[in-house]
């Protein structure tokens, strides 16, 4: 168990650095109110987690440690949006349309509301 935690932590460390550098570079290159850096990181993260899970489903091309390092670790550190997108895709593939709509809709709505609430709490305290 400790080994897998170190593997995931290492991937997350590298993913977080990659997110910071990529987002900062893009945001400094395209000066705009639109958050191009975060947007691009989220889309790249979704593409990468799709590739990594696709490779892992092909057989013996990727062992469990590499899968955890790349998906949970790197992609999780790069952007949690990639995990969110992959879970929604799994729900759709399994025909769970109701759970997909519920998860996607509530995650976006409640996530924004929770961010707003957290921000408001800081103004009160």
8 A C-beta contact, residue 10 and residue 25: no
Which pLDDT tens digit goes with each residue over 3-23? 999 999 999 999 999 999 999
pLDDT of residue 117: 92
pLDDT score at 8? 97
pLDDT digits (tens, 9 = 90+) for 33-80: 888 898 899 999 999 999 998 888 887 889 999 999 999 999 999 987
Task: Place 125 in a pLDDT band, splitting at 50, 70 and 90.
Answer: low
What are the residues whose beta carbons fall under 8 Å from the beta carbon of 61, sequence distance 6 or more? Answer: 55
Asked if 7 and 69 count as a contact pair (C-beta separation under 8 A), the reply is yes
Identify which of 12-26, 33-47, 78-92, 109-123 has the greatest average pLDDT.
12-26
């Amino acid at each position: 168990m400790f080994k897998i935690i170190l593997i995931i932590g290492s991937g997350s460390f590298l993913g977080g650095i990659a997110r910071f550098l990529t987002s900062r570079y893009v945001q400094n290159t395209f000066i705009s109110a639109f958050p191009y850096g975060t947007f691009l990181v989220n889309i790249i993260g979704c593409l990468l987690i799709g590739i990594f899970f696709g490779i892992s489903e092909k057989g013996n091309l990727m062992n469990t440690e590499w899968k955890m390092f790349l998906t949970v670790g790197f992609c999780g550190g790069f952007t949690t949006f990639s995990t969110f997108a992959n879970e929604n895709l799994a729900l759709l593939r399994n025909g769970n349309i109701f759970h997909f709509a519920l998860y996607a809709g509530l995650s976006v709505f409640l996530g924004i509301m929770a961010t707003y609430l957290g921000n408001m709490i800081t103004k009160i305290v």
